[in-house]
Structure 1
Amino acid sequence: MEQAFAPLAAWLSENQDWILAAIVLMSFLECLALVGILLPGVALLFAAGTAAGSAQIALQWVLLAAFIGAVLGDGLSFLLGYHYHHVIRRLPPFRSRPHWIARGESFFHQYGLMGIVIGRFVGPIRPIMPMVAGFMQMRPASFFSINVLSAIAWAPFYLMPGYLVGASLEGEHALSGRHLLFLSVAVVGGWLLAQLLWWSHNHIRQRRNKRQLALLTALACLTLLIAVSQMMQLDAVVDLNRRFSLWALSLRHDWLDRFFVGLTQLGYVQPMVLWGALVTAALIWQRHTYGVVLWLATILSGQLLLSGLKHWFAWPRPELVAMPPDSYAFPSGHTTMSLVFLGALAILCLPGISHGRQKAVLSGLCILVALIAGSRLYLTVHWPTDVLGGLLLGGLILAILYLVVLYRPFRTVRPLPLVITSAGAWAISFGLWVAPRFETIILSYLPLIRH
């Protein structure tokens, strides 16, 4: 596959002025009905994203190019289906493969308007869902509204991996062993946590024993949280915190800065409110009242406890970057709430996921939490004890949630809408609040001390 795209990569590297136009074209073709089925669009977009990162093209322009191409491709597919559905059904590709359209129509009937969003990320039906929406005579205003919002989510999902690879491997910007070690510790730490959770879930069968373990976990997290809150005031711990933060400053790297700043911005108020609201809407759409109560009670209690503890301890942050956040340091809000949000999603969604995929999903969620926690340490806006306190507070809240669920089980939640709305919330937040002022945000995290 690499050899097949080598000429394209070479041409883009020699004609960097055409990279954005190429991204628009590839995104358009990837989203165009029938063409997207035949075209290896994911690989092409990865290659284009790598070229854009290597050429150091501003990320917001790369995402905008992908967004424009996706909206145009899906828009044309919808209009073709809306106006020419009788003709298209008789064309050779669809006449000989009627299951293509049947699968899309079944998906549309099952998920309705949400199917346009979900369909963007489901491989076999991705290129035909807009055309199927046209077949079903969906109102154009409704389609184009949801099409624009879903394209905001789609663009970073398909372009960011290649962009980050290209940016990190370019000449003097290449990552060193120390940078890779820091990333590896975060990833492996999250993976090990997932293995521990998976082992306990599968080897403790009886509900009574699960309740006892959940209660012990809650008590352990509470005890350790109290211990950390007292120990962080000791001179020796204060000195260790400072030494670690100064070491973290020595890790600073242009593209890691961009990666961690982009990741950490999604933990601020506006993205989290949008995330919580969209997941709530997805649960309401499923008519899962108990799920709504569990979700809202968990995230709201998490936020209340977090705010209360921050003001109770009033622990100052490190002052090592140009514009550190205004709130108090202990415990880390990003760490706490990312763990609470993702952990609550795991508790709600995992029963609806096949057993063979549960472990992979749990590992992905734990690694994401570890990277968000690591971003606060890398950017030196939290002390290590803040992050540890955030993990313990989040663990306490989730243990209580799991205990409640064990005493009063819930009807299985359909996980796909919750996963898609979560990814969509992050992507929309990035497109609306992060990408437009990304360079300014980067400046606020510039270190005051250079190593």
Structure 2
Amino acid sequence: MDYIQPYLDYFTANPEWALVIIFLISLGEALLIIGLFVPSTAVLVGAGVLVGTGHLGFWPVIIATAVGCIVGDQISYWAGRLFGERLKTMWPLSLYPQLVAKGEDFVRVHGGKSIAIGRFVPGVKSVVPGIVGMFGMNQLFFIFVNVTSGIFWSFAHVVPGVLIGQGLAFAGELSGRLLVVLLVLLVVLALAGFIIRLAAAGVSPFLNHLLARVSAWARARRGRSWQRFARAVSPDNPRSVMIVLFAAIIFTGIIAFANLAIRAASQNAVSNIDVSVATLMRESRNAPGDELMTVITMMGDTVVMTALALTILGWLVWHKAYRAAWAAGFAILAAKLFELAMKLGLQRARPTELSYSGASIFSFPSGHATMAAVIFGILAVLVSHSMGRWGRAVVYALCAILVVAIAYSRLYLGAHWLSDVLAGLTFGVVMMAAFGVAIEAIPPRRIKPLGLFAAALVVFLAAGALHVATGFTRASEMYAVPQPQILVPVAQWVEKDWQKLPARRIDMAGRPGETFIAQFAGNLDLLATQLEAGGWTPTPVWTWRESLPYLNPNAALPDLAPRPALHEGLKAKLTLTRSAPGDGPGREVIRIYKTGLAAAEGTVYKPIYLVSLTREVMNNGFNLYAIPSQRPASDADIADLRGELARAQGLSVLSQHDRAGMVQDLITAIP
């Protein structure tokens, strides 16, 4: 947040610059051909996110978005009216004859409705306004449809971002660093989707143009082989573009993977960027984020990927697409065997020791990234084979988002270095492209691709949910951040080492929170029993399920779990609540955090804990959710708790210290 907050503060203080950017993006998205290369959806949804988090106003963003897209379409319309049919021969439309022809067919089929419908159809939306102008549509009619559809389009793009922003604001209320983790993940996913969209929108037309020139050059040469080559690469051959694209992916992917493998095999196996990214991920770790990323990484575990692969193979066999089934099975098996062989050959250590066995104890390449890329890639190839360019782009983007999310979780959890994940993704994409060449050369028939896609996703989600439900606890323990304990003699802790521990809770942004009012070493269950006798109620360890009541803005405070305040990224080991004494508002909350120190006496040692006390009251954010708002405990509340601890049977107050005005008690359990 230290890096992101200044930008948010700047846009909050100078919203006019944010509105100018939103206007220009919305304008560029509506201009002829240029709109193909403008990441309008990501930017406008991002603007909605800033609205949802309270950094921008809703109506100014809507107005800037609507005016931009309306003006952009109007400019494109005037270009069509001014140049007429000549517009198709002018740059840049001359590079996209197939897109222009598709836009003309779209306008002929839908007539005046094409202006409104076309805004939501990838590809044609960048040419429809110019084409209707070229066809001579009435100016007043165009203005009416342009304005009304532009307003609707603006709401459709900004409102989802507002809802996402509300979710991020909700996450930010719980943990500042969790907000950063989610923002990074959203940016990575949006970037992956945009690259796929850009490839479908921009690379294919250029490739068509290049293939046309290569085909013409080959036809001008003598010889039957040249003529066959010319027909194979001609844009008129519906499979030529995908075959060439897949071949290019295989060529560049092999080079990239070889480069990563050579670097991994060298003496400098772990590069500076590997270490830097691993450090960044480690410093971003937090308890809610760990739970989310553990679920995502479990969705890429072998048992889930195997279920998905068997579903794809079974579907192909059921529909008698035996060649496609053999090709898919070979690609998946070859990828798995190659991954295991590379791990055994290089034996690269993981960033963090995990309880894997066999070849899986090694790191290069990432098995999760490899198999996710191969299996989801094969699914994308099969499902999108008979689709148009934009349908294919949507399928590939959806599959890519799932693959990238799994790959990102491996980095976050410290299971792999960055180069491991990149190598896995690269090799997986190479195998996917090789399968794609085989499918384009000998396409399967009657496999009902949409049914395959639905069945595969249902099995993926069902297998993943079952795997998470049965193995989440074990996985959480395996991926947990290591917490080594330093043993110190009890006398040394009492005399000086207590000062090495934080005086205040450190939140996820690194900022100090409430004061720790006590330290104690001993049995946590014993302390809980003593406090329960005094009217305190223990609450379960916070999980995402505990946050569901927060979504009810009318919830009462007793119905809500205490907010998950984290200390140095870790949850409290014990949380207890009690109604505020007297007529005071809200409730008191005790949180007890485990430290990295343990008090040793002979061969017996006991962990040292930090105790905090806060007060919570209701906070209804935007009337959409209710999260307890945290306040510092009063001096009277702290004094009362100290008295309870001092009177508790089996506990002894050893001493009191004054450090920077913050009183701390050292408490130890009597054996």
Fold in common (TM above 0.5): yes
Residues 308 and 324 from structure 1, CA distance in 2 versus in 1: closer, same or farther, beyond 3 angstroms? Answer: closer
How far residue 429 of structure 1 moved from its aligned partner, in angstroms, is 2.0
CA distance in 1, matches of 2:397, 2:281: 26
CA-CA distance at 1:439 after TM superposition? 2.5
Name the structure, 1 or 2, with higher relative contact order (CA <8 Å, separation 6+): 1
Structure 1 CA distance, aligned partners of 2:169 and 2:449? Answer: 34
Q: Does 1:225 align with 2:257?
A: yes
Q: Given the alignment, which residue of 419, 424, 447 partners 1:390?
A: 424
Determine the C-alpha separation between the residues in 2 that align with 1:354 and 1:198. Answer: 10
Equivalences for 1:49-448 in 2 at 5 Å?
169=171, 171-173=173-175, 177-199=179-201, 200-201=203-204, 203-205=206-208, 206=235, 207-208=239-240, 210-232=242-264, 233=266, 235=268, 237-319=270-352, 323=355, 326-353=360-387, 357-448=391-482
Deviations 1:87-135 (A, max 9, x none): xxxxxxxxxxxxxxxxxxxxxxxxxxxxxxxxxxxxxxxxxxxxxxxxx
In the TM superposition, what is the alpha-carbon distance from 1:219 to its structure 2 partner?
A: 1.9
Contact 2:347–2:363, Cα closer than 8 Å, also in 1:
yes
Q: How far is 1:375 from its partner?
A: 0.6
Deviation at 1:446, TM superposition (A): 0.8
CA distance in 1: counterparts of 2:258 and 2:393, whole angstroms:
31
Q: Secondary structure at the match of 1:204?
A: helix
Structure 2 vs 1, CA of residues 234 and 202 (structure 1 numbering), >3 Å: closer, same or farther? farther
Q: Percent identity?
A: 22
1:258 partner amino acid: E
Q: C-alpha root-mean-square deviation of aligned residues, in Å? A: 3.0
The letter for the 1-side match of 2:250 is A
The one-letter amino acid paired with 1:204 is L
Distance 2:279 2:322 in 1: 48
**What SS does the aligned partner of 2:271 have?**
helix
Is contact 2:378–2:432 with CA below 8 Å preserved after alignment? yes
In structure 2, the partner of 1:63 is none
Q: Residue 367 of structure 2 aligns to which amino acid in structure 1?
A: G
Choose 203-212 or 241-250, whichever is displaced more: 203-212
Q: Cα distance 1:427–1:395, how it changes in 2: closer, same or farther (>3 A)?
A: closer
Amino acid of the residue matched to residue 174 of structure 2? Answer: E
C-alpha contact (below 8 Å) 1:275/1:425 kept by paired residues? yes
CA distance in structure 2 between the partners assigned to 1:283 and 1:245 by the alignment: 40
Contact 2:366 2:423 in 1 (8 A): yes
Tell me the CA shift for residue 235 of structure 1.
3.4
Indicate if the aligned counterparts of 1:245 and 1:383 stay in contact, CA closer than 8 A. Answer: yes
Q: 1:352 to 1:219 in 2, by over 3 A?
A: closer
Tell me how far 1:342 sits from its aligned partner: 0.9
The 1:434–1:306 alpha-carbon spacing in structure 2 relative to 1, beyond 3 Å, is same
Give the C-alpha shift of residue 230 in structure 1: 1.8
Higher alpha-carbon deviation: 308-317 or 188-197? 188-197
Q: Hey, what's the Cα distance between the residues in 2 that align with 1:399 and 1:358? A: 14
In the TM superposition, residue 397 of structure 1 has moved relative to its aligned partner by: 0.9
Change (3 A) 1:311 1:237: closer
- Is 2:369–2:403's contact at 8 Å kept on the other side of the alignment? yes
Partners of 1:209 and 1:171 in 2: how far apart?
49
Could you tell me how far 1:410 is from its partner in structure 2? 2.7
Change (3 A) 1:355 1:218: closer
Deviation at 1:390, TM superposition (A): 0.7
Distance 1:212 1:191 in 2: 22
The 8 Å contact of residues 352 and 414 in structure 1, kept in 2 or not, is answered as no
Report the residue type matching 1:188 in the other structure: A
Question: Aligned in 2, Cα 1:429/1:213: closer, same or farther, shift over 3 Å?
Answer: closer
Residue 178 of structure 2 contacts residue 289 of structure 2 at CA under 8 Å; is this kept in 1? no
Give the TM-score normalised by structure 2. Answer: 0.40
1:443–1:225 distance in 2 versus 1, CA, 3 Å: same
Q: How big is each residue's C-alpha offset from its partner over 1:108-163, in whole Å with a ceiling of 9 and x where there is no partner?
A: xxxxxxxxxxxxxxxxxxxxxxxxxxxxxxxxxxxxxxxxxxxxxxxxxxxxx99x
Gapped runs of 5+ residues in structure 2? 1-162, 209-234, 484-567, 570-671
State the distance in 2 between where 1:445 and 1:168 align: 25
Richer in helix (by share): 1
Structure 1, unaligned runs of 5 or more: 1-160
The letter of the residue matching 1:433 is H
CA distance in structure 2 between the partners assigned to 1:324 and 1:238 by the alignment: 24
What one-letter code is carried by the residue in structure 1 that aligns with 2:434? I
Q: Are 2:367 and 2:424, in contact at CA under 8 Å, matched by a contact in 1?
A: yes
Any conservation in 1 of the 2:350–2:415 contact (CA below 8 Å)? yes
Residue type of the alignment partner of 1:330: F
User: In structure 2, what is the Cα distance between the partners aligned to 1:384 and 1:402?
Assistant: 27
Describe the superposition over 1:33-72 as per-residue Cα deviations: whole angstroms up to 9, x where unpaired: xxxxxxxxxxxxxxxxxxxxxxxxxxxxxxxxxxxxxxxx
Q: 1:353 touches 1:415 (CA, 8 Å); kept in 2?
A: no
Contact 1:324 1:381 in 2 (8 A): no
State which structure, 1 or 2, has the greater radius of gyration over its C-alpha atoms. 2
Larger strand proportion, structure 1 or 2? 2
2-side partners of 1:359 and 1:238: how far apart? 34
Q: Deviations over 1:292-345 (max 9, x none)?
A: 22321221121122122222222111126x646743111111111111111111
Q: Distance in 1 between matches of 2:341 and 2:199?
A: 29
Q: Structure 1 residues 334, 167: CA separation in 2 closer, same or farther (over 3 Å shift)? A: farther
Alpha-carbon distance, 1:173 to partner: 3.7
SS state at 2:361 partner: coil
Closer/same/farther in 2, CA of residues 357 and 174 from structure 1, 3 Å limit:
farther
Distance 2:170 2:410 in 1: 20
After alignment, is 272-281 or 337-346 more displaced? 272-281
